[in-house]
Structure 1
């Protein structure tokens, strides 16, 4: 019959903290006040530690505890371990307040800032890291677990659909637009004063120079799927990565553009740019929330989701 093997308890942080307090105060009664434990619990923790180490740390002389020569080197190591544990705890607390947000260009430049302002109102110490690029680049970062949550335009196209969660967020409308009194529209279309826009057919638009976003952007995806398929011979003179660049080029009357209503809202209001409505064309689209299923959803992650959903309810 095999003899049962006695299992010696593992060393715990609590035992080390008790030992350090006894070492520093010189008694179990004063140590119990420091660690907020009963004196009997402190004595038990010290006994358990000595049993695990298989060496005495203090010599009991009546009610007094005299330090054993073993105590000092163990004290140095215990302080180091407790310091590392405290550093880890502080690191965890800092990570709880950190979030990595990705956004496609239009959302990142025009829609995300007020959402972040609301996040800072709720969590003033929030640590936000942002990545703004075109939709496909942002989705790629989500797949690599570099981003906690992303807000993108157009339908996300991850390589691994099983790993990515995506949720419809809100709707947006793209607009074809031109400079007010553009040379390209003279003699082609009349200005509609009631609706503050020009009106064109697809045949007319196909003959005019068009400035669009680059392939891979959410804006370009919608232009390809909902506009250019009706304009097989459209004159695309330039594909540009930045919406602001397109807006300024259209303002210089280089051609017509097609961007989100959010990008040109201020210029439309001032009358510097005007909408060009294209008969039979609907350029509405869905914006998406995207995250990796394996990504930890921290409290700040949920707070940001709540802010997004509140904003959605108000639109």
Structure 2
């Protein structure tokens, strides 16, 4: 009966079928030829019909042998996957997670990581927070497990998953003349001095695209490469800006900054989690991805609700 066949016999059979020779199979597997012959004999007995036929000095697979070989390949693939999964599972409580995120994501990613780390306290997390260009450089070099971006990259062979909404809002000082007004015309907003992110920023790209689509030109006063610096510049009366609503996650809108009610706003975007399409995610990375797609959304929704009610 086939159930009496062993994995070792199947491996020997697969090697003989691959090499087309008992002698070559023995050499590849560091076995003696009699041992290989004995393993094939036992497997043939378990199957009940011949697996090879010899014509001249060469051996060929029978129809039954071809069927057994197909199953052997499936088993070999499953065993390889199992070994990888078991190795990752053994390291799940002691594993590593490497993330690279753009600077704006720092306002919510640590909170997501906190809950994830609480659930898996043995996992060591390396979080790289940098600008979009450097995140894309790290992505192209496959430095990290996962990457979080607000503007999908182009020209890269990647897996791209939207994980969270990312609303861009108009932010002004709380004592700004437009604060409290409803449905402010976009043309009116454009008259204000704008403080924008640096060239290459995903936020800037989205804002410029929005104004271009509406055929409205911004009055750009200043360019600053930091959300925190922009917030301080707004408080200092240097202008207004359009940023992710998440930049107000800690202070809310009861502090020195407020969100203006502008027609067409918020600009609806998403946060994306990205990784190379050829990358085999570890169990740790897969677990974190699943966590983001489920519980992470609930946490961010809670943060957004806090902002809208503040």
Alpha-carbon shift at residue 9 of structure 1 (Å): 6.6
Alpha-carbon shift at residue 119 of structure 1 (Å): 2.3
For residues 143-192 of structure 1, the C-alpha deviation after alignment (integer angstroms, 9 at most, x for no partner) is: 211121111112x12322xx21101112121111111223xx3xxx4x43
Mapped contact 1:172–1:285 kept (Cα < 8 A)? yes
Please say if 1:303 is aligned against 2:305: no
Alpha-carbon shift at residue 249 of structure 1 (Å): 0.5
Alpha-carbon shift at residue 200 of structure 1 (Å): 2.6
Secondary structure of the residue that 1:159 maps to in structure 2? coil
- 1:112 — aligned with what? 109
Larger of the two Rg values belongs to structure: 1
Where do 5+ consecutive residues of structure 2 fail to align? 1-22, 32-86, 302-310
- 1:157 — aligned with what? 153
Mapped contact 1:103–1:150 kept (Cα < 8 A)? yes
* 1:1-315 matches, cutoff 5 A: 10=30, 97-107=95-105, 109-154=106-151, 156-160=152-156, 163-182=157-176, 185=177, 189=178, 191-192=179-180, 199-230=183-214, 232-314=216-298, 315=301
Mapped contact 1:106–1:260 kept (Cα < 8 A)? yes
- 2:41 — aligned with what? none
Alpha-carbon shift at residue 228 of structure 1 (Å): 4.9
Whole-Å separation in 1 of the counterparts to 2:107 and 2:297: 19
Alpha-carbon shift at residue 7 of structure 1 (Å): 5.0
Question: Quick check: which one's helix share is greater?
Answer: 2
297-306 or 115-124, larger mean C-alpha shift: 115-124
Whole-Å separation in 2 of the counterparts to 1:242 and 1:297: 32
Aligned residues: 220
TM-score (norm 2): 0.63
Alpha-carbon shift at residue 306 of structure 1 (Å): 2.2
Mapped contact 1:210–1:238 kept (Cα < 8 A)? yes
